[in-house]
Amino acid sequence: MSVDAPSREVPAPLVEGTSRRPRHWGRFVLPTYSWLVIAYLVFPIVVMVIYSFNRVTAGLQLVSFSWNGFTWQWYRQWSNIPGLTSAFWLSLRLAIVSTVIATILGTLLAIALVRYRGKRFRGKAGFEQILFLNIAAPEIVMGASLLGLFVTFNVARGFFTLVLAHVMFSIAYVTVTVRARLSGFDVALEEASYDLGANPLDTFRLVTLPLIMPGVLAGALMAFALSIDDFVTSNFVSGSSAPFPVWVYGASRVGTPPQVFVFGTAIFTVGIVFALLSLLVSKRKV
Amino acid sequence: MSDTSTTSVTPGSVNVSLSDVTKSFDGVVAVDQLNLTINDGEFFSLLGPSGCGKTTTLRMIGGFEEPTSGRIVLGGRDVTYTAPYHRDVNTVFQSYALFPHLDVYENVAFGLRRKKVAKDEVKKRVGAMLEIVDLPGYEKRRVNQLSGGQQQRIALARALVNEPALLLLDEPMSALDAKLRHQMQIELKSIQSRVGITFLYVTHDQEEAMTMSDRLVVMRQGKIEGIGSPQDVYDNPSTEFVATFLGASNLLAGTIASRGQEITAVALENGTTLQVPTARVATSTVGSVVKVGVRPEKIRIHVSGSTTTTGNTLRGRVRVSTFTGVGNQYIVEMASGEDITVYAQNIGEELAPRSGEEVELSWPIEHTFAVRPAENVISSDELAS
Ligand SMILES: Nc1ncnc2c1ncn2[C@@H]1O[C@H](COP(=O)(O)OP(=O)(O)OP(=O)(O)O)[C@@H](O)[C@H]1O
Ligand SMILES: [Mg+2]
């Protein structure tokens, strides 16, 4: 989330006349508008975070949206619901594995798309279309067709099919992100590396990769975020092993245990930390 | 790198040779049957207008481009198809191509690290190299915090520290302003003579090439038009293109009238006959069309009838006279309508002819040359540098 904070200018001495009017307007409208958008974006999350501290006074231990007082109870008993905990660990493992695979494949694909053309990469235009399709196609379609595919070929649904599906929908995002970074890359830098005696592998390791690293990290972050909160595709291909979002959806029909909000808050916090880190990294590496 | 004993330089021995090297891109010929030999320890320049194939030639020697045909031999080894990281050549790129994610020290040490040079040795050599390029103590700087001139020197240091057999430089001064450029030219030349490494220098700036080179070639449209020491190529241009590209020349169309052992006579279209040393005539057949040339600074100008003249003589009327401080520049129009440019030094001897005055132009026979007319018309684009 990179929202430009409203700039804090030192107020200029007031000058009488009409020529300054439009700027005053802009100064007032734009920050207000920005803050409204930000509020709109974070409001649901804030609600979740607040109600993760809400006491439950009567009946089953389910989320209720009347404020009964502050408690750390759900944080202390975060692992009290075995199904939820194992769904969360499954989601985490799934996100890590699929992110690593998608980042490697997506990065290599981006390099191929930027560097090779003509005879060295026949059918490149078609490939780019598929990539775009992969991003644009409704997830429900992909999920349903994947399920059809697995059923047809009699592949047991579980962790393996989940990884396959998540890698599939993440690759395109990684590729697009890394490619953006690569297109501004001066090829002379790689030539300079060869010139100084580095073979292609060393050149990739010592020059290309460090320079596109911000793009690779951003792509990985995207893949991770896509995976950890994916519901539609996962719901189709998970079989009996439900990841976190699928489990929550199932539970919400009966009633959501407050621990769901605890996990949600944890994921959000980790997300924020990563976003800040990536901001730092991209600021440092020019 | 104060001791150069590690690089065994035998002056005069061949460092790199290109034989019949041709490079075409999708049928477009960029370099055409190039034959070139560069000796050890030479400062050699490739000079020519934009698009004449200088960079392509350099890239083939560096290994970044494969010749379509021909051979490249480096230090006695055929490297025509050798990968760049297996050649004893280093390059200073036009854009410098310094690694932005590494500091100055790591940039300069990059090549030594690849060769697995011991840590202490790397430190010593990088330090010594930064001393040579006059940037000691810059080890920890990031390269994008350096000025253009400093970046250029780091690029030079990064290449030179490897003590290559041959250093390639592709217009390394083009990003610098005129003053810094001049300063760096002198510095580069002095570094080259200190380290004793062969430099192959690409430029389209003729003045730069002439002041720095031991020898140079003038290229045009992928071919060599002239080769030799700067003075040789300047005084003795082998083609019309060289005569106009390198400095300025007055060129007059004529026909070879007679040919002697020493002197060849060329009849101009206006009837005047000029004498040219036979050794400086490109074609020897009587009757063939040539262009007779003389450099503007070789001509003496005086008001008609004021002195007796020797050598070659032409008459005309001063059309434009410009005082430039160090001298006068005249444009003299001959009866045929052709213009001749004359540079006269301000030595305060003679009365400067004024505009409209009838004048006589004369110059010694040995300063006259005759070249074959260029097959393709020379455009003003090619001469702008
Ligand atoms: N990779 C390439 N693909 C196609 N044509 C090329 C390529 N590289 C060079 N050329 C062509 O080859 C010719 C020579 O180019 P080159 O870069 O060697 O010129 P140059 O003498 O270095 O010019 P400049 O002074 O402008 O740098 C040009 O006509 C150019 O368009
Ligand atoms: Mg060039």
Within 92-111 of B, beta carbons closer than 8 Å to A belong to: 93, 95, 97-101, 110-111
Measuring CA to CA, how many Å separate A174 from each of A39, A215, A224, A225, B28? 29, 8, 10, 12, 38
In the prediction, which pLDDT does A102 show?
97
Q: Which pLDDT belongs to residue B1? A: 38
Close Cβ partners of A139 (under 8 Å, ≥ 6 residues apart): A169, A230, A232, A233
Residues A48 and A128 in one domain: no
For Cα atoms B91, B92, B94, give the angle at the middle one, nearest 5 degrees.
Answer: 125
Please enumerate in sequence order all residues whose Cβ is within 8 A of that of A148, keeping only pairs 6 or more positions apart, or say none: none
Grouping H, G, I as helix, E, B as strand and the rest as coil, residue B199 is strand
Specify whether the CB–CB gap between A95 and A224 falls below 8 A. yes
pLDDT of residue A279: 80
Mean pLDDT score, A201-230 = 93
Provide the 3-class DSSP secondary structure of residue B108.
Answer: helix
**Residue A178, pLDDT above cutoff 50:** yes
For residues B270 and B200, membership in a common domain is answered with no
Q: pLDDT of B3-23, one tens digit each?
A: 434 444 455 577 899 999 999
Residue that terminates a domain, selected from B176, B201, B235: B235
Question: Quick one: A60 and A96 in the same domain?
Answer: no
Q: What is the mean pLDDT of chain A?
A: 86
Instruction: Give the side-chain half-sphere CA count within 13 A for B236.
Output: 13
Same domain (yes/no): B248, B169: no
Give buried/exposed letters for B325-362 (b at 16+ CB in 10 A, else e): eebbebbbebeeebebbbbbeeeeeeebbeeebebbbb
Task: Indicate whether B213 and B356 sit together in one domain.
Answer: no
Q: Between the CA of residue B357 and those of B271, B329, B333, B363, what are the distances in Å? A: 22, 14, 11, 19
Residue positions counted in chain A = 286
Residues contacting residue A75 through CB under 8 Å, at least 6 positions apart: A52, A262
Q: Contact B44/B214 with Cβ under 8 angstroms?
A: yes
Query: Considering the domain boundaries, does residue B282 fall inside one?
Result: yes
Residue B9 lies in a domain: no
What pLDDT, on the 0 to 100 scale, is given for residue B111? 96
Give the containing element (helix H, strand E) for B333. Answer: strand B327-333
Q: In 3D, which of A234, A217, A196 has the Cα closest to residue A281?
A: A217
- Chain B residues whose beta carbon lies within 8 Å of the beta carbon of residue A199: 83, 85
Residue B218 is assigned to a structural domain of this protein: yes
B303 within 8 A of B338, measured Cβ to Cβ: no
Residue A81 pLDDT grade (very low, low, confident, very high; cuts 50, 70, 90): confident
Q: Return the pLDDT at A285.
A: 53
More confident residue, A116 or B161: B161
Residues B145 and B218 in one domain: yes
- Are A133 and A220 members of one domain? yes
Residue B385: which of B148, B32, B47, B59 has the closest Cα?
B47
- From A283's Cα to the closest Cα of chain B, the distance in A is 12
Flag whether A9 is in a domain.
no
> Which residue in chain B is spatially nearest to A282 when comparing CA positions?
B101
Is A233's pLDDT higher than 90?
yes
pLDDT value at position B187?
A: 86
Q: Which ligand places an atom closest to the C-alpha of B169?
A: 2
Candidates B92, B114, B117, B143: best to mutate against A (most CBs of A within 10 A) is: B114
Residue A20 lies in a domain: no
pLDDT value at residue B195: 86
- Final residue in a domain of this structure, among B178, B211, B235: B235
d(CA B17, CA B9): 16
For residues A39 and A92, membership in a common domain is answered with: no
Give the pairing type, strands B43-47 and B215-220: parallel
To the nearest whole Å, the CA of B144 is away from the closest chain A CA by 9
Please tell me whether residues B274 and B380 are part of one structural domain: yes
When pLDDT is averaged across residues A9-30 and rounded to a whole number, the result is 60
Domain limits at B132? 14-235
Q: Which two tokens stand for residue A230?
A: 């994916």
Distance, in Å, from the CA atom of B288 to the CA atom of B251, rounded to the nearest integer, reads 16
d(CA A109, CA A116): 10
Distance CA A282, CA A274 (A): 12
Residue B220 Cβ inside 6 Å of ligand 1? The answer reads no
CB A170 within 8 A of CB A227: yes
Q: Tell me: do B218 and B274 sit in the same domain.
A: no
Q: B284 and B227 in one domain?
A: no
Band of pLDDT at residue B349, cut at 50, 70 and 90: low
Does B295 or B307 have the greater pLDDT score? Answer: B295
> Which three-class secondary structure string do you get for A180-243?
HHHHCCCHHHHHHHHHCCCCHHHHHHHHHHHHHHHHHHHHHHHHHHHHHCCCHHHHHHCCCCCC
Pairwise pLDDT comparison (B226 vs A58), residue with the higher score: B226
Residue B5's pLDDT is: 40
Residue B117 pLDDT more than 90? yes
Give CA–CA dist B331/B318, Å, rounded: 6
Residue A5 lies in a domain: no
- Proportion of chain B above pLDDT 90, given as a percent: 60
**Would you say the CB of residue B95 lies under 6 angstroms from ligand 1?**
no
> Do A65 and A86 sit in the same domain of this protein?
no
Average pLDDT of chain B? 89
Amino acid A23: pLDDT: 61
Give the SS3 label for residue B341: strand
Ligand 1 atom with the shortest distance to the CA of B57: 18
CA A102 to chain centre: 13
Sheet containing strand B250-259, edge to edge, reads: B273-277, B263-268, B250-259, B289-294, B369-371
- Stronger pLDDT, B381 or B261, i.e. the higher one: B261
E strand or H helix that includes residue A161: helix A159-183
Contacts of residue A149, Cβ cutoff 8 Å, sequence gap at least 6: A155
Classify B305 in phi/psi space as left (phi over 0), alpha (psi -120 to 50) or beta. left
**Whose CA is closest to atom 12 on ligand 1?**
B30
Ligand 1 contact, B51 CB (< 6 A): yes
pLDDT, tens only, B200-209: 999 988 889 9
pLDDT at residue B128 greater than cutoff 50 = yes
Distance from the Cα of B54 to chain A's closest Cα (Å) equals: 17
pLDDT of residue A144: 93
Q: Which amino acid is at B7?
A: T
Q: Is the pLDDT assigned to residue A16 strictly greater than 80?
A: no
Position A158 in a domain: yes
CA distance B254 to B238: 17
Q: Do the Cβ atoms of B197 and B166 come closer than 8 Å? A: yes
Residue A66 lies in a domain: yes
Whether residues B159 and B20 fall in one domain: yes
Q: Are residues A179 and A40 in the same domain?
A: no
A50-59, B104-113, B282-291, range with greatest mean pLDDT: B104-113
On whether residue A7 sits in a domain, the answer given is: no
CB atoms within 10 A of CB B206: 21
Task: List the domain range (segments joined by +) for residue A52.
Answer: 26-70
Rounded CA gap, A244 and A88, in Å?
A: 5
- Do B4 and B196 form a contact (C-beta atoms < 8 A)? yes
Q: Are residues A189 and A267 in the same domain?
A: yes
| Pick from B83, B97, B115: CB nearest A186 | B97
A253 pLDDT more than 50: yes
Which stretch of DSSP H or E encloses residue A149? Answer: helix A139-152
A179 is a domain residue: yes
Is residue B83 located within the same domain as residue B227? yes
Task: Tell whether A119 and A30 lie within a shared domain.
Answer: no
Contacts of A207 in chain B (CB under 8 A): 99
Instruction: Please give the order of strands across the beta sheet that includes B166-170.
Output: B89-92, B166-170, B198-203, B43-47, B215-220, B223-228
Residue labelled with tokens 């007055």: B250
Query: What's the pLDDT score for residue A255?
Result: 83
B21-77: per-residue pLDDT in tens? 999 999 899 999 999 999 999 999 999 999 999 999 999 999 999 999 999 999 889
The predicted pLDDT at position A149 comes to: 93
Q: From the CB of B52, is ligand 1 less than 6 Å away?
A: yes
CB A103 within 8 A of CB A223: yes
Encoding tokens for residue A234? Answer: 């996962």
Nearest Cβ partner of A197 from B97, B99, B115? B115
Shared domain for B158 and B244, answered yes or no, is no
Same domain, B358 and B327: yes
Across the range A48-61, mean pLDDT stands at 84
The reported pLDDT for the residue numbered A262 is: 92
| CATH number of the domain bearing residue B56 | 3.40.50.300
Q: Is residue B188 part of a domain?
A: yes
Q: What is the CATH number of the domain that holds B316?
A: 2.40.50.140
Q: Quote the DSSP letter at residue B50.
A: T
Q: Is residue B2 part of a domain?
A: no
The verdict on A169 and A142 lying in the same domain is: yes
Within-domain flag for B93: yes
Rounded Cα–Cα distance for residues B281 and A19 (Å):
75
Residue B350 binned pLDDT confidence (cut-offs 50, 70, 90): low
Are B285 and B137 members of one domain?
Answer: no
From residue B366, give the alpha-carbon distance in Å to each of B181, B269, B363.
35, 22, 8
Instruction: Looking at the structure, tell me whether residues A61 and A140 fall in a common domain.
Output: no
Q: How many distinct structural domains can be found in chain A?
A: 2
Q: How far is CA B184 from CA A44, B45, B187, B201, B208, in A?
A: 63, 16, 5, 14, 11
In whole angstroms, what is the distance from residue B243 CA to residue B101 CA?
A: 47
Residue bearing tokens 């040795």: B121
The protein residue with its alpha carbon nearest to ligand 1, atom 27, reads: B50
Does the residue B306 lie in any domain? yes
Give the total number of structural domains in chain B: 2
Domain boundary among A70, A95, A124: A70
pLDDT value of residue B16 = 93
Least reliable range by pLDDT among A16-20, A145-149, B61-65, B113-117: A16-20
Strand-pair partners of B371: B291
B299 within some domain = yes
In a shared domain, residues A65 and A89: no
- What is residue B385's predicted lDDT score, i.e. its pLDDT? 53
CB A178 within 8 A of CB A186: no
A12 located within any domain: no
Domain boundary among B202, B218, B235: B235
Residue A198 has pLDDT above 90, yes or no: yes
A201 and A228 share one domain: yes
